[in-house]
Structure 1
Amino acid sequence: MRVYIYGRGLGFKYVKRCLLEQVEIIAYIDNYAQDKVSGDGISIIKKDELLQDFDFIIITLMKYEVVRSDLLKQGIGRQRIISFFDREDAEKDIFYSVLDSHRWKSELMWKYQQEVEIPRADNAYYEANAKELEERYELPTIIDVDKTIDILIGEEKSLTRFGDGEFEMMFGRNRPRFQVLDKKLGNRLCEALQKSLPNLMIAIADNYGDLSKYTDEAADAIRHYMSPEVRKNHMSLLDMHRCYYDAYLSRPYYIYRDKSFGVIKRKFDHIKEIWSGKDVLIVEGEHTRFGVSNDLMDGATSVVRLLVPDKNAFSKYDAIIEATKKYGYKRLIICVIGPTATILVFDLAKMGYRAIDIGQLDTEYEWFLREAKDKCDVSYKTVSEFIDKEVYEDISEPYKSIYEEQIVEIIK
C-alpha cells in the first residue's frame, strides 16, 4: 500500500504507531514546510504536487475537516481519504489494510481520555461553582466584554491583554506562535500584570469558571490547557481582590456558541465605536494588515501604520517604542504584535499615551464575514493559526494603494 501523509505535526506520532509494516509512505504533504526532505529521507511536498499513483491519503491533523473538503474538491475519492482523528473512519474496514484497527481505536480512545475526559473532570468543580467561588475570592473577577468595551468607548483608558501565551512566557514555557521564549519579556510581563495604573485596564481570558457560552470545541481546548498545574500557576500571579477585564474582547466570533449574524455583528459594531472619529496609529506585524480590505477601521478619522517584524518583535522593542511615541502622539494606538503588545501598551500608558492591545480581532472579523465554521487562512494577511505561511498574496487594488499610503515606517 502506497500512502501520502498529510501533516507532520503532533498528530503524526499517533498515526505512525498504527501504520502496518507493508505500508510505503510516498511523501509528506506540508504546505508550509521549508525543507524538501524530512529527517527520515522521505520527500516533503505541497498539496498541488500530489500525484495520482497512491492508495490512500492519511490526514494526521486533528482538525481534519477543511483538509478533507479541499481534497474532495480536488477530485480525490472519499474512499481514498483517511482522517485519522475521525472516529467514523476508524470503523471502516477498507482502511484496515493501512492501519492496525486495534491500535488505531486504542490511540483515539487514549487521546480522547487525555484531552477531553480528564480535563473535563479537572475543571468540573470550577465550572459548576463559578459564581460562589468568585464571591469567595477563589476565582478572579473578570468584567464582561460588553462592559469592557463600554469603558474603552467612554473613558480615555488603555487596555493590555494576557492570554495563555503571555502566561506561559511568564513561567518560562514556550507557547506563543509569534515570539520565542525570552526571559526578559517574561519578567516584563510579570511586572505589567501585577502593576496597577489608573489609566490601564488589565485583561485576562475568561477561562477559570463557567464555560457554557463557548462552543464545545473551545471549552474543551480551554479545559485541556487549564490543567491543575496551569490553574495553580495562574492563581499565583492573579489578585483575587482585583477586577480584571475580558481578554476575549479580541475574539468575538469563533469561540462562542451563539454565532447568529445579528449577535456577532452587534459585537463588532460595538468594538468599532472605540476608534470611531479618532486618529489612529496601528502598530502591527509586516503582514498583519489589520483592517485592510474590510470596513473594520472605516469609522476612524485617519489611520497610519507602523510595521514591525511578524515574529519576535520584542527583539526590536527599543526601536518600536520610540517610533510608536513619535507617530502615536495625540492618536489612539492599536497594537497587534503578540506578547510584545502587552508590554508596549503598559509602557505607553505609564508615559500618558493611550493604547489598546487588540490581538487577532481582524482575523475574527474576516472569519465572521466568511461565516467560517472552521479556522481558515486569510489571503495576504497573517493568521496566527497559519503562522508558518511563507508566501503572502499581493493586496488587490484599491486596498493596496490605501494601505501603502498609511505606512509611516517599517522596522526590520
Structure 2
Amino acid sequence: MNLQYGSFFKYPRKVFKHFLSEIYPLVIKIYPLPKVKSIPETIDKILKDKASICRFGDGELLYISEKRSLPFQRQDDRLRKYFIKILKSENKNILIGLPIGYHSLGNLKKSSKITWRAIISWTYPGVRKILKKDKIYYNASMTRLYMDYEDTSHSGDWFKKVQSIWNDKDILLIEGEKSRLGVGNDLFKNANSVKRILGPAHNAFDQFDNLLNFAKKQSKDNLVLVAMGPTAKPLAYELALEGFQALDIGNLDIEYEWFLKGAKTKVKIQGKYTSEAKGGRNVADVVDEAYADQIIAEFI
C-alpha cells in the first residue's frame, strides 16, 4: 500500500491540494492545455464513426508521470509503456480520452474544480511531453455524467445518448469480478444480448494476455465494453486494432446508479465494486441467475 493514500497524510494532502489549485492559472499559462472535445461531441463521434475509445483519468496520468502504483493496480513497466504508446497513437478509429478538467471546469462542483485544478497543476507538466500539440483529444468523462456537476439537468439525456451506442447490439463485456455492470438496473435494457468475461478486481493487468486472447476469439459483431480500471486501456486498444469496436466505459454503471438514486455524495453501491466510496471495495457476493448465465469466461 502506498503511504500517500493513508489517513496519516490526509491533512497535508488537503493543504497541498489547495496550494496546487491556487497555482493552476500559472501552470496552464506556462503549459497551455491540449484540445479536448466535450462529452456530447465525444459520444457523437463514437456513434457516427463507430469509433473505439481509451480513456485516461488522473490515476493513469500519475501512473505514467510518477511511476506510482494505484490502490487497485501495482506499478508495471509493461502497462506504463502501453499507456504511453496509446497516448501517442495516431489511429483515427481509436479516440484518446482526457478527463473533463482538461476540457472545462465549468459547471463542476466547487470541490471538483479544486481537485481538477490541483491534479492538472501536479501531473500535466510531467505528461505534456507525451501528448501531441495539434492532436484532438476526446473526453474521458463521457462515462462520468452525474456526480461531479453542479447542474445535473443534462445527466438523463447524456445517459440515454450513451445507451444508444449499444442499441440492438450484442455486448461483450470485460469487467472486474465484482463490478457487475448493469446488474440491478436497466443500463443495458436496449442491448440485444450481454456476455461477460470476468477478470480480477485488483491488479487485473496480471491477466491481460489471457483476457485479450480469449476476447479476440469472439465475434467481431460484438460491441466490446471494458470496465477494468487501468487494464481497460490496453484491452480496448488491442481489440480495436483487431477490428472490434471497443469502448473503455469505466465508472459508467456506478455513475448511473448514483443518478438513479439521486445521490449527493459518492455512496457505496451494494453488490458492486465502488472504488471511490467509503467501504466500496468490500463487496458482498450476489446471487443473480441471469448475471451468472451471462458469464462465458473467468480469469481471476
Matched, 1:232 2:106: no
Instruction: Say whether residues 1:252 and 2:148 are aligned partners.
Output: no
Partner of 2:246: 355
**Who is 1:13 aligned against?**
8
Q: 1:185 to 1:388 in 2, by over 3 A?
A: farther
346-355 or 297-306: bigger deviation = 346-355
115, 127, 132: which one aligns with 2:17: 115
Higher alpha-carbon Rg? 1
Over aligned residue pairs, what C-alpha RMSD do you find? Answer: 2.4
2:190 paired residue number: 299
Structure 1 residue 161 displacement after superposition:
0.7
Identify the match of residue 267 of structure 2 among 372, 376, 381: 376
CA contact (8 A) 2:268 2:280 kept: no
Q: What is the DSSP-based 3-state SS (H/G/I as helix, E as strand, rest coil) of the residue aligned with 1:345?
A: helix
Distance 1:10 1:166 in 2: 15
Aligned residue number for residue 410 of structure 1: 298
For the residues of structure 2 that align with 1:391 and 1:216, how far apart are their CA atoms? 29
SS class of match (2:283): coil
The verdict on how the C-alpha distance between 1:121 and 1:387 changes in structure 2, with shifts beyond 3 A counting, is closer
Does residue 243 in structure 1 map to residue 136 in structure 2?
A: yes
Contact 2:61 2:123 in 1 (8 A): no
Q: Does 1:168 align with 2:68?
A: no
Q: Separation in 1 of the partners of 2:211 and 2:116? A: 32
Matched, 1:317 2:208: yes
Aligned partners of 1:333 and 1:355 also within 8 Å: yes
Question: Residue 144 in 1 paired to residue 45 in 2?
Answer: no
Provide the rounded CA distance (Å) in 2 between the counterparts of 1:391 and 1:123. Answer: 35
Unaligned runs of 5+ in 2: none
In 1, are the aligned partners of 2:63 and 2:69 still within 8 Å (CA)?
yes
Q: 1:210 deviation in Å?
A: 3.9
Among candidates 66, 80, 86, match of residue 192 of structure 1: 86
- After TM superposition, list the pairs within 5 Å mapping 1:255-270 onto structure 2: 255-260=148-153, 263-270=154-161
- Identify if the C-alpha distance between structure 1 residues 279 and 226 changes in structure 2 by more than 3 Å, giving closer, same or farther: same
Are the aligned partners of 1:162 and 1:247 in contact in 2 as well (CA < 8 Å)?
yes
Of residues 338, 341, 347, the one that matches 2:229 is 338
The 1:386–1:181 alpha-carbon spacing in structure 2 relative to 1, beyond 3 Å, is farther
Equivalent residues of 2:267, 2:278 under 8 A apart = no
Structure 1 length as normaliser, TM-score?
Answer: 0.67
- Say whether residues 1:158 and 2:52 are aligned partners: yes
Q: 2: distance between equivalents of 1:382 and 1:351?
A: 29
Alpha-carbon distance between aligned partners in 1 of 2:130 and 2:142, rounded to the nearest angstrom? 21
Q: Is the 8 A contact 1:380 1:393 kept in 2?
A: yes
Which has the bigger relative contact order, CA under 8 A and spacing at least 6?
Answer: 2
May I ask how many residue pairs the two structures share in their alignment?
Answer: 298
Contact residue 281 and residue 328 of structure 1 kept, 8 A: no
Distance 2:219 2:203 in 1: 22
CA drift at 1:164: 1.4
1:112 shift after superposition: 5.8
One-letter identity of the residue aligned with 1:327: Q
SS at match of 2:159: helix
The structural deviation recorded for 1:349 is 1.4
Contact 1:172 1:183 in 2 (8 A): no
Question: How has the CA–CA distance of structure 1 residues 388 and 186 changed in structure 2, closer, same or farther, with 3 Å as cutoff?
Answer: farther
Per the alignment, do residues 252 and 305 of structure 1 end up closer, same or farther by CA in structure 2, a change over 3 Å counting?
same
Displacement of 1:126:
6.5
Contact 2:65 2:127 in 1 (8 A): no
Assess, with a 3 A threshold, how the Cα gap between structure 1 residues 111 and 411 changes in structure 2: closer, same or farther.
Answer: closer
Once residues 111 and 344 of structure 1 are traced to their aligned partners in structure 2, the CA distance between those partners, rounded to angstroms, is: 33
* Gap runs ≥5 in structure 1: 1-7, 15-61, 63-106
1:319-378 CA-to-partner distances (Å, cap 9, x unmatched) read 010111123531000000011110111111111111000011001001111111111111
Letter matched to residue 20 of structure 2:
P
Instruction: Return the letter of the residue paired with 1:180.
Output: R
